[in-house]
Chain A
């Protein structure tokens, strides 16, 4: 039976759709809907989570993320400039830092700054400081690489034009190169914020007072106190999406804008 290329494509499409339908049907049949209804979609019992998960949890997640991002952005910019420096020692330090913090789980960093460092130096840090440092230091490693790529994406002629107008290196960086690099890295930077938002949940390893709870902590607490199974985590997850999906859309908007114009 001879088929044209178009016919073959059509048949292949039908086959793929068929497989998809069968897979979904099998999944639905195999699911224990009664148990799931009780332990995952049990929305009748989650009333007590409100309004605190919104007023405290969401608020704290946003605060922790913002603090981590501020530290991460400043640290990342410093590291990126060090990595591009002509002074080898700076490059080595930056490379070492970046590889180290990208290579270990963020959870370990939280534990180190939550328990290890305070013990070792006999200091008392409140949770906000620990989150800011832990999230910030991990974020700095990732953001540094993003910014370095952005800085290198600015054509060399820009720096040369600025220098030939008599600008010192730092001024040329501040007024000419960094503003352009920033526009280039806006989409990946927005993605960093999404990652940070989720990483802020790692704070659960620290001892928190009620006013310091963020979304995941509310979810975990709900599991043990509400008798609605995993439903509270589902609620917490929904709140994350409320933050991350708009960010994702924003990143896409930045992307299409920078594709249209270099401004």
Chain B
């Protein structure tokens, strides 16, 4: 992507960048993040890959302070998230989060899932909130299912509602934690295409995923994590097709060819 395009994307929406400096997080004596530094520019799409247990979710959850880091600084947009005086709720409004397990509110229908935080947090009038919710449900291709409850939707539909719910808050940054890992294979494509469109529209995105095709096509950069550290990062195509580090190669070999079983172990 050239600079002109990049600039166009940056001005298309208010986008918040992320800047992590030397982030550390431990659970008891188990240090999960061992000094992570990571930059996501406004409008950039960064995919975070790595083996299970390497700390990807923890990193993502630190960005909107679902987990409190032990050390290091986090900047999101104009906020210094790690400043103890920061208004966490205000900061989180700028950051949309999409979970592996969707976490839709089961007692509310799709439409209400998208309006509740608008009316209760942003204090938007109900009519306006409904309009925004509707528009975002259309955006993810589910306008016709607005009055369905989560248990009446397929996994892929639920995940798209979850994306619409986050978008309804007009976030400047979207975090995705393995958004397609809990889905039936045939519904993965719908969710990925929603995310692809979002990226095209210039949303800043930090995406944990095992979908290498998506990462290669959509991500500006790919970051490979293992054991709580960033092992390798760079342009998506380069990291995925020509990784430099042996741990990255090893991981990619397993992900890209899941039928490959090393019987020597």
Contacts and interface: CB of A to CB of B under 8 A. Distances in A.
A166 B66 contact: no
A221 interface: no
B117 A165 contact: yes
Contacts of B6: none
A263 B106 contact: yes
A175 B120 CA distance: 9
B103 A180 contact: no
Given A157-B99, A263-B149, A263-B151, A166 B107 contact: no
A211 to B, nearest CB: 43
Interface in A135-166: 155, 157-158, 160-166
Interface residues of B, number: 28
A123 B97 CA distance: 56
Interface string A164-204: 11111001000110011001000000000000000000000
Interface string B229-265: 0000000000000000000000000000000000000
B159 interface: no
A167 B95 CA distance: 12
Contacts of A175: 116, 120
Interface stretch (B41-49, B85-93, B210-218): B85-93
- By CB atoms of chain A within 10 A, which of B89, B99, B166 has the most? B89
B169 interface: yes
Contact of A163 (B66, B116, B122, B149): B66
A263 to B, nearest CB: 6
A160 B66 contact: yes
Given A158-B105, A160-B66, A167 B117 contact: yes
Given A157-B101, A262-B151, A167 B120 contact: yes
B101 A176 contact: no
B110 to A, nearest CB: 13
Interface of A is mostly: helix
Contact of B105 (A161, A163, A168): A161
B93 A179 contact: no
B165 A165 contact: yes
A162 B107 CA distance: 13
Contacts of B166: 165
B10 interface: no
A157 to B, nearest CB: 4
Contacts of B121: 165-167, 171
A166 B117 contact: yes
Interface in B72-129: 89-90, 92-93, 95-97, 99, 101, 103-107, 116-117, 120-122
Contacts of B95: 164
Nearest to B122: A166
Interface string B170-181: 000000000000
A8 to B, nearest CB: 45
Contacts of B105: 158, 161-162, 176, 180
B99 A167 contact: no
B106 A164 contact: no
B89 A168 contact: yes
B165 to A, nearest CB: 7
Nearest to B92: A166
Contacts of A160: 66, 99, 103
B64 interface: yes
A126 interface: no
A239 B106 CA distance: 39
A261 interface: yes
A164 B107 contact: no
Nearest to A174: B120
- By CB atoms of chain A within 10 A, which of B101, B116, B150, B162 has the most? B116
B173 to A, nearest CB: 12
Contact of A179 (B92, B101, B107, B117): B107
A183 B107 contact: yes
Contacts of B92: 163-166
Contacts of A162: 105, 117
A139 B104 CA distance: 33
Give the 6 A-B CB pairs with smallest separation, nearest first. Answer: A165-B117, A161-B103, A166-B93, A157-B103, A164-B97, A262-B106
Given A157-B103, A161-B97, A180-B107, 10 more contacts: A157-B99, A157-B101, A158-B103, A161-B105, A165-B117, A166-B93, A166-B121, A167-B117, A183-B107, A263-B149
Interface of A: 155, 157-158, 160-168, 171, 175-176, 179-180, 183, 261-263
Interface of B: 64, 66, 89-90, 92-93, 95-97, 99, 101, 103-107, 116-117, 120-122, 149-151, 162, 165-166, 169
13 contacts: A158-B105, A160-B99, A161-B97, A161-B103, A164-B66, A164-B97, A165-B116, A165-B165, A166-B92, A166-B169, A167-B121, A261-B149, A262-B107
